[in-house]
Copies of this chain bind each other. A is one copy, B any other.
Amino acid sequence: MSSLKEYLEKCRVTVDATLDELLPTANDRPGSIHELMRYTMFAGGKRIRPALILAANEACGGEFGNRDARYAGAAVEMLHTFSLIHDDLPCMDDDDFRRGKPTAHKAFNEGLAVLGGDALCIFAYEVLARTGNLKIIEEMSKALGTSGMIGGQVVDIESEGKPVTLETVKYIHDNKTAALMRASIVIGAQLANADDETIAKLEEYGMAIGLAFQVIDDILDITSTTEVLGKDAGSDLERGKATWPALTSLEESKRYAHELTAKAKECVAFLGDKAVQLVGIADYLENRID
């Protein structure tokens, strides 16, 4: 586990340096929005999605931290952050804290938060385009759009305070969370020119760890504290959000997350030693308690 933590730290340092290299600074006009973009990007995320890109890329034969993988890693983190900025807005989840710091609309203002999210989204596509790989742009768009992340967010908001089925919760988790993690894995593999069969297995791995990740998030919202989470604990319950434990139980949710993790590891077993980081990440996500 300690070597996995070192690997994740190496990924974090790599993607942070790339973000710092790519993002405009407060000295570039207009300064305010660039300040907001850097504020949100460097508020201390774990960089899981970039790590998935770097690890999948390496597992498929790419050299660790090659330029295209770094660029895609920086882009996916910008896209993830864009979605968080908008989700936190008063007209959506209305959250005051994120990663232990005031959310963008609290630290700046609402209008600039909307535009800062937009700008991160647009800049991410510019960075993706610089890799010269069109397939990853299509892959990313599908994962982000109404048949992916945004679709999940819409159904999540529309389900608040209403009785929902487990099927709906799965739809929300698969789309709002797992889709972007799946895309990260696929993009890492695409940038290493992996064959279709390899990509299909990695895609399955990505969906499984993505769903496990969100089920565990649901569990942590109940069992953890605001201090540990860096965001409001218990906020799902308070808001009448549809969660896995609410529709099953804590025990069943843990069992399911474990089953998904085992399945994910099976999917990458064919890669042998090259899958070591992917296996480690699957275990890490299941066991993550900061």
Interface residues of A (CB under 8 A from B): 24, 28-30, 32-34, 37, 82, 86, 89, 91-92, 109-112, 114-115, 117-119, 121-123, 125-126, 129-130, 132, 134, 137-138, 141-142, 144-147, 150-151, 153-155, 157-158, 171
Picked from B30, B114, B132, B145, the residue with its CB within 8 Å of the CB of A86 is B114
Instruction: Please give, as numbers and ranges, the residues of chain B lying within 8 Å of A32 by CB-CB distance.
Output: 154, 158
B123 touches A129 (CB 8 A): no
Instruction: Please give, as numbers and ranges, the residues of chain B lying within 8 Å of A114 by CB-CB distance.
Output: 86, 89, 91-92, 114
User: Given A30-B146, A34-B146, do A126 and B141 touch, yes or no (CB 8 Å)?
Assistant: yes
Instruction: Please give, as numbers and ranges, the residues of chain B lying within 8 Å of A126 by CB-CB distance.
Output: 137-138, 141-142, 145
A28 to B110: give the CA distance in the assembly, Å. Answer: 31
B123 touches A121 (CB 8 A): no
A24 to B148: give the CA distance in the assembly, Å. Answer: 13
New A-B contacts (9) at CB < 8 Å, excluding given A91-B110, A119-B150: A30-B146, A30-B154, A33-B154, A111-B157, A112-B157, A118-B118, A126-B138, A129-B138, A137-B137
A122 touches B137 (CB 8 A): no
A interface, over-half SS: helix
Can you name the residue of chain B whose Cβ is closest to the Cβ of A36? B154
A145 to B37: give the CA distance in the assembly, Å. Answer: 12
A91 touches B109 (CB 8 A): yes
Ordered by A's residue number, 20 sampled pairs between the chains whose C-beta atoms are within 8 Å are A24-B147, A28-B146, A28-B147, A29-B171, A86-B115, A89-B114, A91-B109, A92-B114, A112-B154, A112-B157, A115-B154, A118-B118, A119-B150, A121-B121, A126-B137, A126-B141, A126-B142, A126-B145, A129-B134, A129-B138
Q: A111 to nearest B CB, angstroms? A: 5
Instruction: Please give, as numbers and ranges, the residues of chain B lying within 8 Å of A171 by CB-CB distance.
Output: 29
A82 to B145: give the CA distance in the assembly, Å. Answer: 13
Instruction: Please give, as numbers and ranges, the residues of chain B lying within 8 Å of A24 by CB-CB distance.
Output: 146-147
B33 touches A118 (CB 8 A): no
Instruction: Please give, as numbers and ranges, the residues of chain B lying within 8 Å of A141 by CB-CB distance.
Output: 122-123, 125-126, 129
Q: A138 to nearest B CB, angstroms? A: 5
Can you name the residue of chain B whose Cβ is closest to the Cβ of A152? B30
